[in-house]
Amino acid sequence: MKILVLALRCDRLRLRTLFIAACGIGLTFIASKAFAASPVGLWYAEGGAAEVQVFPCADEFCGKVVWLHSPLGEDGCELHDDKNPDSALRNRAIIGLLVLTGLKPADDDQAAWSGGSIYDPTSGHTYSCIARLEGDNRLFLRGYFGIQLLGRTTTWTRVGTTQCHSLVP
């Protein structure tokens, strides 16, 4: 009789352990899906000419340039924000420059953000900005003046997700 009771307790313990493990796996899956729609990370911008680190800043998302394919100008010196309309800011290095600010989650879509600004250091212009994540690895950003119709969309690709193949056999 004692052996039967011990066997039943062991079975209950195994079932309880299995149930707890299944719940943990389920919660992990749900949490990963809930946080999957996030622009946080490292992105190739402008066709790979730059890498931008997108990060949370307060209750918004911001982004700064962390790498440039060509970090030096024609004179061999580090690129600076020389097109900035504020002459006091023209000596800032492009690497480390905050180019994306103020993106907040859109009310109706968990994979969209609005209310932000994007700065283009090649022109010195700042545009209103919205962003939309497609899948986990493509971020569409639209910079515009006034209304979204008067703007341009660019696609950023998450670093580490593209497959480059050599053309040499």
Number of domain units in the chain: 2
Judge if 104 and 61 occupy the same domain: yes
pLDDT of residue 162: 67
The mean pLDDT value of the chain amounts to 82
125 falls within a domain: yes
144 falls within a domain: yes
Instruction: Write down the pTM of the prediction.
Output: 0.74
> Residue 102 above 50 pLDDT?
yes
154 falls within a domain: yes
Which residues constitute the domain of residue 150? Answer: 41-158
pLDDT of residue 37: 81
Share of the chain above pLDDT 90, in %: 66
pLDDT for 60-76, tens place per residue?
999 999 999 999 999 99
> Residue 113 above 50 pLDDT?
yes
CATH code of the domain containing 74: 2.40.128.520
Which is nearest to 63 in space by CA: 138, 149, 156, 151?
156
Judge if 54 and 28 occupy the same domain: no
pLDDT for 82-100, tens place per residue?
999 999 999 999 999 999 9
167 falls within a domain: no
> Residue 11 above 60 pLDDT?
no
